[in-house]
Amino acid sequence: MQRILAGAALGFLSGAAAYKAIFRTLESSDEETVVKDYSSFSLAYGLPEFNSDLYHYNNHVVLYDNAKKVPVWVAEHLTLDNLRGTATREQSQFQCDDYVPRLFRSSNDDYWDSGWSRGHMVPAGDNKHSQEAMNDTFYLTNIVPQDIDNNAYFWCKLERYCRSLARRYNFVEIVSGPLWLPLTTNDGRRFVKYDVIGKNDVAVPTHLFKVVVGENDEEIVIGAFVVPNKDIPDDKQPIDYQRPIDVVEKMVGAKMFPRLDRRQTEDLCERDGCKHLDSPEFELSLFQGIIEGAYSLPRLETVWRRVKKSHPWLVEKLKGAYLNKRKQFQQK
């Protein structure tokens, strides 16, 4: 597979061009932007290289953070055609992208026994049309350390809601990624605190974001969501985590959909509700998959307690799968 790699920062610049790119001060106003040029500055042995690299895959693009070993953002284009096909997760596997310099890679070992799941930013389920495109979503450039219950429940349902938009809009474009947001103490101090995992110190985000645009012949809608990277109560809905788009842009440090005229857009949640598409069939399939994928007996019992507490109507339907999985662990 051909991968297109684009240097988005100074690692691919040289000489005066690099100096000019760094030592440039922008003074912005509504009327004009003034650029001050300090390109005469130099160091005898060169300025530090700081690569923020774009990795292009079949149906998504990643801006990768070499320091945190996770994406800054991942962008995808979604239509109904993406959701039709025979591609399956069983033929995919999590793996490093060899195009990422070895010094800046994460590995599967970083995630193993860390207590965090490997969370897709572009979900595999958005690429049923192509096995290769689905496989691409398993590169670790598309993965962040995600709370296992957040991944399995709320985030999964949010992804399903976004897929449903492809049935109501001609196309949907989505940008997703991790965030590290500050805490505020009782005395007013603010600071950012987060875990790292593995020998490569992969950064665990405090939150995840998703910005969604949908377009059809009648309207263009936009919505932005910021979700804590922790288990979310089952009664919460996507609309509960909606944030103004400019607030999310400030958090990410990037302008979203810069060629979109916001004056021509409608609020996604006002137009579409931003509610999970819970159905008995989906809930049964979701929990069946989680039970079958439980990696330990304690994890299985945690899932089963959740079923009994929040989805009691599924107990009889899932009891056989639960007991079978429990027996497998006991026999080990």
Structure tokens at 267: 């609020």
Tell me the H-state helices in the chain.
15-22, 108-111, 131-136, 148-152, 154-165, 245-252, 268-272, 280-292, 297-310, 315-331
Tell me if residue 120 is catalytic.
yes
Instruction: Note whether 172 and 213 are within 8 A (CB).
Output: yes
Structure tokens at 144: 């962040």
Instruction: Note whether 68 and 203 are within 8 A (CB).
Output: yes
Q: Which of 120, 129, 276, 311 is an active site residue?
A: 120
Distance CA 157, CA 153 (A): 6
Instruction: Note whether 69 and 114 are within 8 A (CB).
Output: no
Q: Using DSSP, state whether 67 is helix, strand or coil.
A: coil
Distance CA 81, CA 67 (A): 36
Which residue numbers are catalytic? 120
